[in-house]
Amino acid sequence: MDDSKSPSVPPCSRSRMVGYSVGECANSLLMNSLSGFAMLYYTEALGLSHALAGIAMGVAVFWDAITDPVMGHITDNTRSRFGRRHPYILLGGVLVTVIFVFLWVVPDFARSSPQVLFWYLLVVNLLQRTAITVFGVPYVALGFELCSDYDGRVTLQGIRSAMNMLANLLGVALAWSLFFSDNETVRATSLPENYVRMGG
């Protein structure tokens, strides 16, 4: 079944599989940024307590568990000339990109007190998780609709998983080497500008 519920599905070529799977790299890099660097940024560089940062991150993960099935229902029941997956993938991609910048480029008012910084992190994280859901749920669902046969679907998901692992390994390694190299006087993870360079 394809994106528009058409009874015929075109052959799933390797180039088509690879093209689709590249989207997994963006998703992996984004999730690694949230899980690997956001906590460091808000605690070590901006001075938010680990408890408050943990609450903000944890609430967003819980919110993600709620929005995923809701988004699945919405995209499954969408009817449009562009199909039921592509409009949300495009919208989610734009939202993720915009909100990602605000996660790292923190305005001055948000740094005025720990309480304000906590609420800023919570709101931005909730928005980011929502945007990831808008992109990710239909993106994954589309992967099972691009190929009409079982072998094609298995191969496609294998390529997508390989892209995920590649992005996980290279993304984190490059981020640490490019933006967080310590010098003799200060820890690189304590400098806000390093995170801004990475995410903004």
Q: Contact at 8 Å (CB) between 133 and 64?
A: yes
Any domain includes 9 = no
Q: How confident is the model at residue 197 (pLDDT cuts 50, 70, 90)?
A: confident
Distance CA 32, CA 74 (A): 27
Any domain includes 122 = yes
- State the pLDDT at residue 1: 42
Any domain includes 3 = no
Averaged pLDDT for residues 21-44:
86
Mean pLDDT, all residues of the chain: 86
The reported pTM is: 0.83
- State the pLDDT at residue 13: 82
Domain with 35, as residue range(s), is 14-179+187-199
CATH number at residue 93: 1.20.1250.20
Any domain includes 31 = yes
Residues in the chain: 200
93 contacts: CB under 8 Å, gap ≥ 6: 26, 135
- State the pLDDT at residue 26: 82
Averaged pLDDT for residues 149-169:
88
Q: How confident is the model at residue 194 (pLDDT cuts 50, 70, 90)?
A: confident
Hey, what are 178's tokens?
Answer: 């490019």
Averaged pLDDT for residues 76-84:
92
Query: Tell me, what DSSP letter sits at residue 59?
Result: H
Hey, what are 3's tokens?
Answer: 């994106």
Any domain includes 7 = no
pLDDT digits (tens, 9 = 90+) for 117-156: 999 999 999 999 999 999 999 999 998 888 888 888 889 9
- State the pLDDT at residue 29: 82
Return the ∠ at Cα 45 (arms to 44 and 51), rounded to 5°: 45
Any domain includes 6 = no
Q: How many domains does the chain have?
A: 1
User: For the stretch 74-109, what's the b/e string if a residue is b when 16 or more beta carbons lie within 10 angstroms of its beta carbon?
Assistant: ebeebeeeebbbbbbbeebbebbeebbebbbebeee
Distance CA 136, CA 131 (A): 8
- State the pLDDT at residue 106: 95
